[in-house]
Structure 1
Amino acid sequence: MISHELWCYLCILVVPFLAQLVSSDVLRQECDRSRNYTANSEFQSNLEQLSSVLPINASSSPTLFSTGAAGAIPNTVYALTLCRGDTANASACADCIGNAFRDAQQACPYNMDATVYYERCYLRFSYQNFLASADNTKRQIVPNGASVASPAATFDAAVGVLLTAVSDYAALNSSMRFSTGVLEDFDVSAPKIYAMAQCRPDIGPAECRDCLEKITRVMPKHFSRRRGGQILGLRCNYRFELYPPFLGNPVLQLKAPAWAVAPSPDGDGPVVPDGDSGNWESVPNINLSILDLQTLEAATENFRDENKLGEGGFGVVYKGALPDGQEIAVKRLSPGSTQGIGELKAELVFVAKLQHKNLVRLIGVCLEEQEKLVIYEYMPNRSLDTILFDPEKRKDLDWEKRFKIINGVARGLQYVHEDSQLKIIHRDLKASNVLLDSDLNAKISDFGLARLFQGDQSKDVTNRVVGTFGYMPPEYVVRGHYSTKSDVFSFGILVLEIVTGRRNCTSYNSEQSVDLLTDLVWEHWTKGTILEIADPLLTSSSAEDKIGTYVHIGLLCVQESPADRPTMSVVNAILNSDGAALQAPSKPAFCLRASSADPEQRRGASHGGGSLAVVSPNEVSLTELVPR
């Protein structure tokens, strides 16, 4: 038998060796050696307390995430733990975090700030309170494997598409902020590319997307043509490989024969499970195709001028037809487009996920050979402004058709504000962004300036005001405050334009240099002569009965105080009721005009200490200024 003394001696020799073996399981570590604790100190006692609590808390949490603090300053220990979203069971998560606490102290002995990353979990503890920090710079870059045979630009672009898809799903569709995906049939050297992405589940969707976008953007710098790679961060992380680095089937499936995703019999990838199955107007899947440039060139006859549907600061929209006969509208962003890659990504994410009969349907995208092309369903009657403000065409818009258009826009706005899984503020609702199908059903388009908001978020602030003169509420223009009530204001303007057939807030030097709200509608409303400013084409008795009600709704929506404006669900309730008693509206907010005669204002001029840039009257699509 081994004596007690010999056993103790063996322990002295073997335990450090075993510790090295355990520590070798750590994928990456970061030790801050600037501040240390001592054995049996209060700090160590607090650390041990957290090491016994956090593995249990994280493994019992539905998001596999936990934070904690123990002890009093200066010996307080703060810690954060997270298990990967595909961790098989609670015990596996608890074991991983328990090992992380042990290995952190062995890999970073007596350091008061240490971070360790495993394949399945990570841990940081520190004497500093980092728990609410938005910093993701404490990250590790891990290249995996040799290079693939594919051309660097093509392979890196394919990985970028996949990482963007899984990042968007993790941010916008998963309570765990975790997602996996596969890009199939890429080429012979990389037939399948797999990826996963994860954020801390305690951060919001927009913050998660922003974090993942930043680390995805540097993928070519660190992993160009690599068979795999991962960026590990406390706030967000991702990984891609040529084999599944995760458990189970991928959530997203993208097919990419010859770099283009061809439509498949059961839908076009990526196929995203429905998050709004409880809403009767939602669609069960998101079907987004990555179309190849050659197909779109053929569809538009090489972007022939005769196929132009419209043109703006972002580029040109062309009519086209796919090989199966489906008519499409192709938005071709110009190299100097005012719609940047951020706006394009926002539009792709929001329009792909927001499925409703009163929102324009996104069909696919093409990012090939420096082209940025977005493909939508074709709307034969184009945009509302091309009919409403045309002296001849608007004769076709009788009252019933205008009623139908107003109601369609109202239903679409209520969906994005209140009924969808994603809650969206459009920020650029106007007549030119309301498209009409063959039956004059209204569909809201152009979500490039839209912003995601939390369900309890009533107001946010931006230092980059974007939108269109004549449709922006005063609190947004002056202070940068935006909320769903910003869209309600724009809706009110749109209602009054539809009823009167007039544009709001045209340029000073135009023939109609009047303010629709204060110079016409409000003046006639207070005098009781509102029928005098209604479009003369609305002559039926049924129209006259409704005009007063719709002007009343419009005025309620454009009141100066956002709190006084109704929500879109209230607006829809009024629209669908007969003789509802309405409160008296207060005087409308002011109108912000643009002078088309002032080239300095159009290009950008000093304004209240900030810069007024790329302003536009209400027939152009983008305004950008700094609020006072």
Structure 2
Amino acid sequence: MEITFLVSLLLISLLNTIPFSYGVETISGNKYITQNTTISSPNGRFELGFFKSAQSSNYYVGIWYKNISPITVVWVANRVTPIPSAAIHSSKFRILAGDLVLLDGAQNLVWSTNVSAAKLRSVLATLRDDGNLVLSDDGVDSKTPLWQSVEHPTDTFLPGSKFGYNKRTKTKQVLTSWKTPDDPSPGLYSLDNDGNTAFQLWNGTEEYWNSGPKFGSGILRTLSLKQSPVFNFSVVDNENESYFTYSVIESVISRWILDVNGQQKSLTWLEPTKEWAAINLVPAQQCDVYAYCGPFSICNENSSPLCACLYGFSEKQRGLNESFQGCVRKSRLRCEETERFKMYTNMRLPGHPQNTTAGSEAECESICQKNCSCTAYAYINYCSIWVGQLFNLKQLGKDDSNGSTIYVRLAPSEFPNIQDTNSQHLSGKLKVVIPSIAVAAAALIACAIFYICFKRMRTALKTTAEAMVQVIDEDTDENGIGVQFFTLQSILEATNNFSNANKLGKGGFGPVYKGTLPEGQEIAVKRLSNQSRQGINEFKNEVVLIAKLQHRNLVKLVGYCSQLGEKILLYEYMSNKSLDTFIFDQTRRLLLDWSKRFDIILGIARGLLYLHQDSRLRIIHRDMKTSNVLLDEDMTPKISDFGLARMVIGNALEANTKKVAGTYGYMSPEYALSGLFSIKSDVFSFGVIILEVISGKNNRAFFQNEEISNLLGYAWKLWNEGNIMDLVDDSLHKCCKEHEVLRCINVGLLCIEEDPKCRPTMPNVFSMLMDESMTLPRPNKPAFVTRTQTCNDSSSVPPDKPCSNQLTFSLEGR
């Protein structure tokens, strides 16, 4: 009996010291968290515990999404004071003297809520369903928490939280970015407000964005936010506080973060693809983040990588996973008269200029030359000089009228053509002889280089299965196509040997992979299959055409490869993939409210308008469909896949082909039946896309009954019955502008009319979409293109349907 009693006492004492089991939702006096235990929110969405990144040996206590991989942390307790791995053993996150505290292995205090609630009898810490860690004296039902994590955010703002300013206590919430993607310690950037300005983004003490002078509905416009069935945004401003908050439907997982790159991002988790999609970016352009590239560098949105050093400067050393840190001079300035200035045109000027009076650019240069601390100058009706480091230089586009010219000071060694003052003492004879020798030496070197390059080129041509001559010939302009050629080896390295983990999808012409170039640029790699219908002519066609086309609604070609029998195209990577993955997916389509869908329709129209009229080449795409419309991180649509596109000469509007190729459901009847294609063929395809975007239904997969076997017939039936709003996607009914929807449907039906002469041109289409005062004609009966099954088609077909081999349709998106 005594032994049994002693064993019982021993077990009881052990139970009082062993950490509580995984899954408990609270921390109390005898329940705490160790390295190997966690607690979860009641709904199982969030988890609290110790974590560390793969690149660090430090441990932190944080909150993350329980069922999302890789780990996505939304709050960190000890981001300033991490626990080294050597001290993690016996570390505890617990309640002590009324406070929630973190103790290291030696029981030293690392972090505390510091609310001094020792007089309370029972203090609990609870992880709630919204991801909020609450310290209270009576548990979950407490209406006045002693402390809560949402009032002390790190880099993340969750639905249901308040982000704003307390007018009574003069306190505010502040988001501070992580230092690097693997280091949660405070980074360079912060987001806050002071009660007068609603939101402000900072790089240290430099403000680079704000949402306006005060809280109000204008914040939503500044952030491009609109109410929808999925998202509900609120702005509150009263005598006690001013704040912003938002909510989402239960099935949607959303968070706002201040990223390590200085951008505020609204992210939504997409369960089908297991990734976070960016819905909103502030500022929209990375280069608008103050000093993003560091000192003495240029940020250029149209180049990759974004950041580059000024001439005469080299990149600073940076650690693993650290972004570009800026540049340092290769040669020091010594305040010599021989120091000169290098000109940079069409630039956004650096911050903090010192303005002075000067009557001319030459006088401005002289002022800077005489000031040993002056590193650059600019003259725009007045003289501006910069002392010390240059921050926030940005290369602007050719069409941007806000660009200025700046001159950056460099050491004499950076200008090899500047003669040394001693050269003035050379005799006249030497001055003649030395240049002559230099010219002769340069000629010899040029000949040698030419000979070596010739030999290498001949060797390369022998080992290349398809020479570049086969790909790009006299059709290109005399200056070449201006697109980089990549070796097959570099593409294999970028895609990890075309691994399945990098595979984005597969189309009719072959698989597409995600790749990363050495400088970090993400790309989409289209590898044409040997069995693909796209041969060398289509490949050459796509390279040449896209290289000549430049528009924000056309996908950008990064490069190409034609080695060892491979035909590969490298495009800019579109993080949100193609339009069809959104509008035909029951979950992702909820992310597209009417405003976004209307912007997408307008973007596609702008791209086609450019192809048909505004580009120096008149291009007919011939394969317009939702899977060939890609979406970038801002949901901007970009037309892709120009393998079937054709250039027509001069003012020609149509052409004919013996080879009909395209996609069932999007081909116009005249093209499918007789091979006649024109700009009106693209207009027909665009009309189908409009109806699909509005309805969320796929024309190729739509079937209601024997009489109505496609979306076009269904839309025409509803139009005639006066019930056309029944066509609209259910998720749009509460948030759409009915007059805009009706106008778009009307335009869509005009585009799909059977007679191509009755269809509008893209300029007319764009005008009808934009000009609400324009009276639209009533559409005629559209072309109900029905599918004729081919004998070789592997898709299932009802037994009573005829089988014909007259036409070939592409049944899968390429």
Name the TM-score class by shorter chain.
0.5 to 0.7
* Greater length-normalized contact order (CA 8 Å, ≥ 6 residues apart): 1
Among candidates 725, 729, 739, match of residue 535 of structure 1 = 729
Q: Classify 1:382/1:511 alpha carbon distance in 2 versus 1 (closer, same or farther; 3 Å).
A: farther
Please give the residue correspondences for 1:42-81 in structure 2 after superposition, counting only pairs within 5 Å: none
Q: Which string of whole-angstrom CA distances, capped at 9 and with x for unpartnered residues, describes residues 28-48 of structure 1?
A: xxxxxxxxxxxxxxxxxxxxx
Q: Which string of whole-angstrom CA distances, capped at 9 and with x for unpartnered residues, describes residues 185-210 of structure 1?
A: xxxxxxxxxxxxxxxxxxxxxxxxxx
> Paired residue for 2:602?
407
Q: Does the Cα contact within 8 Å between 1:506 and 1:594 map onto a contact in 2?
A: no
Q: Does the Cα contact within 8 Å between 1:351 and 1:361 map onto a contact in 2?
A: yes
Q: Does the Cα contact within 8 Å between 2:466 and 2:564 map onto a contact in 1?
A: no
Whether 1:516 aligns to 2:711 is yes
Q: Classify 1:608/1:346 alpha carbon distance in 2 versus 1 (closer, same or farther; 3 Å).
A: farther
Q: Which string of whole-angstrom CA distances, capped at 9 and with x for unpartnered residues, describes residues 95-128 of structure 1?
A: xxxxxxxxxxxxxxxxxxxxxxxxxxxxxxxxxx
CA-CA distance at 1:580 after TM superposition: 1.6
Q: Does the Cα contact within 8 Å between 2:546 and 2:557 map onto a contact in 1?
A: yes
Distance in 1 of aligned mates of 2:648 and 2:659: 16
> Paired residue for 1:566?
760
- State the one-letter code of the partner of 2:632: D
Distance in 2 of aligned mates of 1:598 and 1:295: 38
Distance in 2 of aligned mates of 1:510 and 1:373: 43
Q: Classify 1:406/1:338 alpha carbon distance in 2 versus 1 (closer, same or farther; 3 Å).
A: same
Among candidates 409, 433, 439, match of residue 628 of structure 2 = 433
Q: Does the Cα contact within 8 Å between 2:672 and 2:807 map onto a contact in 1?
A: no
> Paired residue for 2:813?
620
Q: Secondary structure at the match of 1:540?
A: coil
CA-CA distance at 1:470 after TM superposition: 0.7
Please give the residue correspondences for 1:224-623 in structure 2 after superposition, counting only pairs within 5 Å: 251-252=479-480, 287-506=482-701, 514-518=709-713, 520-540=714-734, 542-593=736-787, 599=793, 611-612=805-806, 614-617=808-811, 619-621=812-814
> Paired residue for 1:154?
460
Distance in 2 of aligned mates of 1:350 and 1:432: 20
Q: Secondary structure at the match of 1:379?
A: coil
CA-CA distance at 1:527 after TM superposition: 1.3
Q: Secondary structure at the match of 1:537?
A: helix
Distance in 2 of aligned mates of 1:584 and 1:509: 25
CA-CA distance at 1:493 after TM superposition: 0.3
Q: Secondary structure at the match of 2:476?
A: helix
Q: Classify 1:594/1:411 alpha carbon distance in 2 versus 1 (closer, same or farther; 3 Å).
A: same
TM-score (norm. length: structure 2): 0.41
Distance in 2 of aligned mates of 1:613 and 1:597: 10
Distance in 1 of aligned mates of 2:666 and 2:702: 14
- State the one-letter code of the partner of 1:489: F
- Consecutive unaligned residues of structure 2, counting only runs of 5 or more, are 1-450
Please give the residue correspondences for 1:35-114 in structure 2 after superposition, counting only pairs within 5 Å: none
CA-CA distance at 1:579 after TM superposition: 3.2
- State the one-letter code of the partner of 1:319: K
> Paired residue for 2:380?
none
CA-CA distance at 1:368 after TM superposition: 1.6
CA-CA distance at 1:562 after TM superposition: 0.6
| Higher Rg of the two aligned structures | 2
> Paired residue for 2:475?
168
Distance in 2 of aligned mates of 1:448 and 1:331: 11
- Consecutive unaligned residues of structure 1, counting only runs of 5 or more, are 1-144, 171-178, 180-250, 253-269, 271-286, 622-628
4+ runs of 1 displaced by more than 4 Å?
148-153, 156-160, 162-166, 507-513, 594-598, 600-603, 607-611
> Paired residue for 1:73?
none
Distance in 2 of aligned mates of 1:417 and 1:526: 32
Q: Secondary structure at the match of 2:643?
A: coil
Q: Which string of whole-angstrom CA distances, capped at 9 and with x for unpartnered residues, describes residues 123-143 of structure 1?
A: xxxxxxxxxxxxxxxxxxxxx
- State the one-letter code of the partner of 1:586: N
Q: Secondary structure at the match of 1:309?
A: strand
Distance in 2 of aligned mates of 1:583 and 1:343: 38
- State the one-letter code of the partner of 1:620: G
CA-CA distance at 1:152 after TM superposition: 5.9
Distance in 2 of aligned mates of 1:508 and 1:614: 21
Number of equivalent positions: 359
Q: Classify 1:388/1:375 alpha carbon distance in 2 versus 1 (closer, same or farther; 3 Å).
A: same
Distance in 2 of aligned mates of 1:498 and 1:524: 17
Q: Does the Cα contact within 8 Å between 2:630 and 2:639 map onto a contact in 1?
A: yes
- State the one-letter code of the partner of 1:363: V
Distance in 2 of aligned mates of 1:372 and 1:404: 34
Percent of aligned pairs with the same amino acid: 45
Q: Classify 1:472/1:153 alpha carbon distance in 2 versus 1 (closer, same or farther; 3 Å).
A: farther
Q: Secondary structure at the match of 2:582?
A: helix
Distance in 1 of aligned mates of 2:692 and 2:750: 15
- State the one-letter code of the partner of 1:350: L
Distance in 2 of aligned mates of 1:377 and 1:350: 16
